[in-house]
Structure 1
Amino acid sequence: MLNNAIERQTIGILIPMEEEIELLLSLVEIKSEIKIASRTFFNAQFAGKNVVLVKSGIGKVASSFTASLLIHKFGVKSILVTGIAGGIADHVKVGDIAIAIDAVQHDMDCRPLFPQFEVPFTNKSFFKSDPNLTSKLESAAKQFVDTEFDNEVSLETMQQLGIELPKIYLGRLASGDQFIGTFNQWEKIRADVMDTLFVEMEGAAVAQVCHDSGIPWCSIRTISDKSNAMAHVDFNLFLHKAAKIYTAGIVKKFIELL
């Protein structure tokens, strides 16, 4: 552990990209910044709670390495993964909010040695999120939608992005080292990984690290695109117009509930 102050940190907040974390950093009281392996870890306080925030970078390697540092260098007792994601289920729309009840790596395939999606030598394919943290995430998202969304996201932005008042869904998260942006990719995940709600590139890797370390985890994402041929356009537009508003609004409500 780095020092006694950091050992008292209770939750790590892992966010892949700068655009997703920048507004949140302006809302917390930053006590110190520590640089390790090209990452800056922000030792901070918000609503009387101790947190460590970090931009992990994109992908399973970047996020799992960052999660390991949060646990073993900073002593966090739980990890929240947040940011934006692609929708897979038909009913999920751009602007909706997705919360993971479990996570799987959709590109994990060691057949015939192990079943598809199973992490070798773990006897596990699906890593469940912590029910208590997940319940708090759902409450935080509802509070954000009910009390802040209309004030924080302008009508112009909503029209430009084609979004309405967000709906909140709980379901399966599928992660892999691919940007899902074609019909064939979307169709394959739907066919291979039953009941997938949303897809991104970090959460299931963090879930495995947390499982191995005995640390609870949770994940909430805002749907930026539908994982189709327009995904690259919708993703970039949402990233720059709305991602930071959702992330900051929901995470601050979540921390208050801890």
Structure 2
Amino acid sequence: MTTSEFKQTPHIQPNGVEIAETILLPGDPLRAKFIADNYLEDVVQFNSVRNMLGYTGTFNGKRISVMGTGMGTPSMSLYSWELIHVFGVKNLIRIGSAGAIQDDLKLYDIVFAMGASTDSNYVSQFNLPGHYSNIASFTLLEKAKKVADEKGYAVKIGNVLSSDMFYNADSTALHKWSEMGILVAEMEAAGLYMNAAHGGVNALCILTVSDLIFKDEQTTTKERETAFTKMMEIALELA
């Protein structure tokens, strides 16, 4: 457990409210509010800067926080860096939506991102003499799989794509990633995994399929905010 007293950044200003060592990170701040309102007890809001809502409470007696991150590697990387290096968070769990690019995936399927391939250049700042593999914390991944099994929730585990481009001028790009076995496309996991690895902490990305990209099927905005409850329940158990 870490204290936020007297600590703040231009983007996170807790005003002394504690941020727990384990935090759930949905892209949508309204999904953070939904979790706080429906799953947490003794909730206190710790952030509202730029409407990136953050809350700390308890789940089954354990302290846990939840905060939105916005969309894309730059936004996720900014918030996760500050949570790790300023506020001492140790376990960061992204809970997000994703577009399926494999035919055997269906709407509402749950995917654990064991790896996160990317077209982002975020890794260049680390000046590595080669190619870096973005992978989840095995500790969190193993625990999440156990929780899913206990709840009877089927999950797919594998490689996802964290893309900088929601609208890509190259219409063949996702088909090429699909041919490499990538399960889904999203926009944040790789940045989170890099920051966590460099900061020496744990990270995991849990996704719910919100779109079948090649079939042009999708969930609604409201469903993405409130209906992806299975992945929320799995993530909450990781506190």
TM-score, scaled relative to structure 1? 0.74
The one of 24, 28, 33 aligned to 2:35: 24
The one of 178, 198, 204 aligned to 1:190: 178
Residue 158 of structure 2 aligns to a residue whose secondary structure is strand
2:99 and 2:225 mapped to 1: Cα distance?
13
The one of 3, 11, 33 aligned to 2:22: 11
Structure 1 pair 5–55 and aligned structure 2 pair: CA distance change class (3 A): closer
1:106 and 1:119 mapped to 2: Cα distance?
15
Q: Which amino acid aligns with 1:169?
A: K
1:43-122 → structure 2 map (5 Å cutoff): 43-108=56-121, 121-122=127-128
Q: Does 1:138 align with 2:123?
A: no
Runs (4+) off by over 4 Å: 117-120, 180-183
TM-score, scaled relative to structure 2? 0.80
Q: Does 1:175 align with 2:162?
A: yes
Structure 1 residue aligned with 2:13: none
2:120 and 2:82 mapped to 1: Cα distance?
24
Deviations 1:43-92 (A, max 9, x none): 22211222221111111111111111221232111100012101122322
For the Cα contact (< 8 Å) 1:87–1:197, is it kept in 2? yes
**Residue 40 (structure 1) shift:** 2.9
1:119 and 1:228 mapped to 2: Cα distance?
34
For the Cα contact (< 8 Å) 2:18–2:46, is it kept in 1? no
Structure 1 residue aligned with 2:232: 251
**Residue 183 (structure 1) shift:** 5.4
Structure 2 residue aligned with 1:2: 4
For the Cα contact (< 8 Å) 2:26–2:68, is it kept in 1? yes
1:170 and 1:63 mapped to 2: Cα distance?
22
2:190 and 2:110 mapped to 1: Cα distance?
18
Residue identity (%): 21
Structure 1 pair 37–69 and aligned structure 2 pair: CA distance change class (3 A): farther
Number of matched residues?
223
Greater percentage in helix: 1
Q: Which amino acid aligns with 1:15?
A: P
For the Cα contact (< 8 Å) 1:173–1:198, is it kept in 2? yes
Q: Which amino acid aligns with 2:175?
A: E
Residue 23 of structure 2 aligns to a residue whose secondary structure is strand
Q: Which amino acid aligns with 1:213?
A: G
**Which 5+ residue runs of structure 2 have no aligned equivalent?**
6-15
**Which 5+ residue runs of structure 1 have no aligned equivalent?**
110-116, 147-165
Structure 1 pair 38–46 and aligned structure 2 pair: CA distance change class (3 A): same
Deviations 1:220-242 (A, max 9, x none): 101111223625xx14x2x4236
**Residue 244 (structure 1) shift:** 2.4
RMSD: 2.8
1:118 and 1:65 mapped to 2: Cα distance?
16
Q: Does 1:127 align with 2:134?
A: yes
Residue 214 of structure 2 aligns to a residue whose secondary structure is coil
**Residue 143 (structure 1) shift:** 4.4
Deviations 1:123-142 (A, max 9, x none): 34321111121122223334
For the Cα contact (< 8 Å) 1:56–1:63, is it kept in 2? yes
